[in-house]
Amino acid sequence: MTGKKRQTGKSIRSVFLASAVLMFGAPALGAGDIERGEALYGKCIGCHQVGEGAVNRIGPQLNGIFDRPAGTVEGYRYSNGMKRASADGLVWTREKLDAFIEDPRILVSRTRMSFRGMKDEQDRTDLLAYLQQYSDNPSDIPEATPRVVGADHDLDPAVLAIVGDPAYGEYLSGECAGCHQDSGANDGIPAITNWPVEDFVIALHAYKSGIREHPVMEMMAKRLTDDEIAALAAYYKDLE
């Protein structure tokens, strides 16, 4: 049942997981160490509750987080960024949770979540193993397949260091203006004016790699070179 920790002892859970590995082979990211994940959850507990009686705090409660559509916990006031991600169809699969924990900005621009990210893959695997206990059917949740590109997009630092040409960005912005208003108005489509350059570049590369999902944005981003993305970022950063 959602929100209730399974009553099985931790040692029994460990035996079960080990047996599953022997029977079916090791999953892509490993089953995860639940006890270690519980310790790592100490970094989250100041904002998020989980387990029986969990309520929303600074962040939403995390019971049943796996396979839940983003931005749907009743009674929690989400940021506009999370609302947009929800409208775009973001669902908290194991892989998306892994990406968000590694770098929250990769999936949700301007998220209010101040967590700087958990870069170690095994740490994330263990943390997700702990959170997985509080889902409807924990044993049915598949492990995520390994990503060729890390959730923090693994951009060459040189890509983020590219200084874009605002004039070239203005030329390229014609296709963006078909949906995004230069005035900064948000009429169902998010404004992209005055974004910090790094946030803009990170978001477009996330669409380009497919980590961040939206059919139109993915198609548009895949057409752009690194220099073109930098140019658009430079143009929109200071657009009045």
The per-residue pLDDT for range 103-157, each reduced to its tens digit, is 888 888 778 888 888 999 999 999 999 999 998 777 666 654 333 333 344 667 8
- What's the rounded Cα separation, in Å, for the pair 223 and 172? 11
Structure tokens at 101: 């924990």
Two tokens, residue 109:
């621009």
pLDDT of residue 240: 74
Supply the pLDDT for residue 175: 86
> What is the CB neighbour count within 10 angstroms for residue 6?
12
Structure tokens at 10: 């931790």
How many whole angstroms separate alpha carbon 18 and alpha carbon 13? 9
Q: What is the pLDDT of residue 147?
A: 35
Residues lower than pLDDT 50 in the chain? 1-30, 144-153
Domains of the chain: 10-140 (1.10.760.10), 157-237 (1.10.760.10)
Q: What is the pLDDT of residue 222?
A: 92
- Rounded to 10 deg, the angle between the 215-222 and 197-209 helix axes is 100
User: Among residues 153, 156, 165, 150, which one has the least CA distance to residue 203?
Assistant: 153
Whether residue 40 contacts residue 115, with contact meaning beta carbons closer than 8 Å, is answered with no
Spatial distance between the Cα atoms of 56 and 49, rounded to a whole number of angstroms? 7
In this prediction the pTM is: 0.55
